[in-house]
């Protein structure tokens, strides 16, 4: 019997195929005592397994490139955490086997994270994946992960670790569905980068029986279980219609009446440039520079290495706009040489610009490298700071840019509600704003972007979030300056129209979303976008806002 389930659509497209479940987690190793004389050997085994898993994660990151590389390198650092390794050594010293010591040490750390607030609890899935990989290596059993199959399938899992998502084969994995996760989780972002239809936060996803045929609509978040031929035909026709619309929409972003809305790409480094160019990106709206710093958590990359990397990206967009975000370290992107290890809540502590202002030499080197990388190029370089809270932050960043001799526009990311509410004050110090809607939602609703249980509050259609976007955009308009969106909200085609109606001046997203947004934006006038924005803000929930905007845009 055909039934319909609803989760959160996070990556456009339709996938129809049989369910295949993610490989099961590693079984709990038996608890047995070892003689004291074997402790040193077991400690060596544990360390070898840890290093092998970390190396494997780094290698996967190098293969995947871009944002996936940054995520996997962060996971590799988690595997090598000195405190965890020391705990493993201690447990072995009192009689545990290597595999049992790893299992118990990670379990203790897991409990600590799970009880330390939602932000840190969001890292539990990544920690579990690292533990399972190390224990599997020690036990000599296959790694947990994507199932082997000669036929294409829809992957279903409780959650997907970044290491699995990053190297999914789109020719075999038609789409994926998870029970946990949220629209701005790492796996959701990587799914969009891969162009794989995906739905997350689907209650009861893991209860779908192996081999069941399902249809996944990554745009609406709907899952059709045992779809009939009529439903399959309907979905396939809709997919074909979308594909035709994408093919016909080319050129710069604009509404149907010619209001220009530059469409830019979010990238993690040079590896993402080709996809951005192929999708017709008019430039880069968010160059995340963290991946370069994750190569070695012990020290910052040299100025020479930074210059080389930045110049590769800048050269790819001659006379285009490239917006670089300086290092955003802290919280879920810890670096040993920068971020404190004992913060009770890193999400609300020293992260982003706060970290850089405590380590001015790191900021100075990065700004100097950007200045040298742009020398002699016709590119329009813009540099922005993450986690700006107020005018004092904005001034400190602008002063640092000028002191480094940077000839570029200086901007501030609006990720903290205070920056949106006081945007005109912030704009006295900088020349543009860029709204990071992922973190802005997180801080507005006290809802961790990695926790599926609060995904309702991470929905970028939430009217309160739209209010903050409107406040920031109006402040920029009043000051004669620009205000873009570089958060994942921009990748939703209908929401892109609403953001345009709110006064946003540019939209930046993963390359795979650019054709969808371009095609949808070209169907409506600016006035229609403004009416849709007003209708969405008048609603009381994300679902109501979405429906209200849809009604306006469809002429109902």
Active-site residue identified among 401, 483, 486, 529: 486
Q: Of 278, 329, 346, whose CA–CA distance to 511 is shortest?
A: 278
DSSP code string of 96-143? --HHHHHHHHHHHHHHHHHTS-HHHHTTHHHHHHHHHHHHHHHHT-PP
Active-site residue identified among 186, 401, 483, 529: 186
First to last CA, the chain: 33
Q: Of 353, 310, 312, 311, whose CA–CA distance to 330 is shortest?
A: 353
Which 3 state secondary structure label does DSSP give 192? helix
Rg (CA), the chain: 24
CA 253 to CA 256: how far, in whole Å? 10
Q: Going by DSSP bridges, is the β-strand pair 432-435/409-414 parallel, antiparallel, or unpaired? A: parallel
Confirm if 280 and 514 have CB atoms less than 8 A apart: yes
Confirm if 110 and 25 have CB atoms less than 8 A apart: no
Confirm if 376 and 314 have CB atoms less than 8 A apart: no
60-91 exposure pattern, b = at least 16 Cβ within 10 A, e = fewer: bbeebbbbbbbbbbbbbbbbbbeebbebbbeb
Residues ≥6 apart with Cβ < 8 Å to 49? 98, 102, 134, 137, 138
Active site residue 186: yes
Active site residue 529: no
**Which are the catalytic amino acids?**
186, 486
């Amino acid at each position: 019997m055909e039934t319909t389930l609803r989760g959160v659509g996070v990556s456009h497209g339709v996938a129809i195929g049989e369910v295949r479940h993610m490989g099961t987690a590693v079984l709990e190793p038996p608890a047995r005592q070892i003689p004291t004389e074997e402790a040193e050997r077991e400690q060596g085994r544990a360390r070898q397994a840890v290093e092998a898993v970390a190396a494997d994660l780094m290698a996967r990151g190098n293969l995947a490139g871009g944002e996936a590389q940054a995520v996997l390198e962060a996971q590799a650092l988690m595997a090598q955490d000195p405190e965890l390794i020391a705990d493993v050594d201690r447990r072995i010293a009192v009689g545990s086997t290597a595999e049992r010591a790893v299992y118990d040490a990670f379990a203790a750390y897991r409990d600590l994270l799970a009880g330390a607030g939602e932000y840190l609890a969001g890292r539990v899935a990544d920690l579990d994946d690292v533990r399972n990989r190390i224990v599997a290596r020690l036990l000599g059993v296959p790694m947990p992960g994507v199932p082997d199959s000669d036929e294409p399938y829809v992957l279903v899992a409780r959650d997907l670790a970044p290491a699995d998502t990053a190297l999914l084969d789109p020719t075999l994995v038609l789409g994926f569905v998870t029970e946990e996760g949220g629209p701005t989780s790492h796996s959701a972002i990587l799914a969009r980068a891969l162009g794989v239809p995906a739905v997350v936060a689907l209650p009861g996803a893991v209860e779908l029986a192996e081999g069941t045929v399902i249809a996944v609509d990554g745009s609406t978040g709907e899952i059709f279980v045992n779809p009939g031929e009529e439903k399959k035909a309907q979905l396939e026709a809709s997919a074909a219609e979308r594909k035709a619309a994408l093919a016909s929409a080319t050129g710069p972003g604009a509404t149907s009446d010619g209001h220009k809305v530059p469409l830019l790409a979010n990238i993690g480094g040079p590896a993402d440039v080709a996809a951005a160019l192929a999708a017709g990106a008019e430039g880069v709206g968010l160059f995340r520079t963290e991946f370069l710093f994750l190569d070695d958590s012990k020290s910052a990359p040299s100025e020479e290495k930074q210059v080389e990397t930045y110049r590769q990206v800048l050269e790819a967009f001659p006379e285009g706009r490239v917006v670089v975000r300086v290092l955003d370290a802290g919280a879920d992107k810890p670096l040993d040489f920068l971020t404190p290890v004992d913060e009770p809540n890193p999400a609300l502590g020293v992260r982003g610009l706060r970290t850089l202002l405590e380590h001015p030499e790191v900021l100075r080197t990065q700004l100097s490298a950007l200045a040298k990388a742009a020398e002699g190029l016709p590119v329009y370089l813009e540099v922005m700071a993450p986690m700006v809270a107020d005018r004092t932050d904005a001034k400190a960043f602008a002063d640092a840019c000028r002191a480094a001799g940077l000839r570029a526009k200086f901007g501030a990311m609006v990720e903290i509600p205070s920056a949106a509410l006081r945007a005109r004050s912030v704009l006295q110090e900088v020349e543009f704003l860029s709204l990071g809607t992922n973190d802005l939602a997180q801080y507005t609703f006290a809802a961790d972007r990695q926790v599926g249980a609060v995904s309702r509050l991470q929905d970028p259609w939430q009217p309160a979030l739209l209010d903050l976007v409107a406040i920031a955009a109006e402040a920029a308009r009043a000051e004669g300056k620009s205000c873009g969106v570089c958060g994942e909200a921009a990748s939703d085609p209908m929401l892109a129209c609403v953001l345009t109606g709110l006064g946003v001046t540019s939209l930046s997203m993963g390359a795979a979303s650019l054709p969808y947004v371009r095609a949808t934006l070209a169907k409506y006038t600016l006035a229609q976008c403004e009416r849709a924005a007003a209708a969405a803000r008048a609603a009381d929930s994300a679902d109501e806002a979405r429906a209200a905007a849809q009604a306006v845009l469809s002429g109902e």
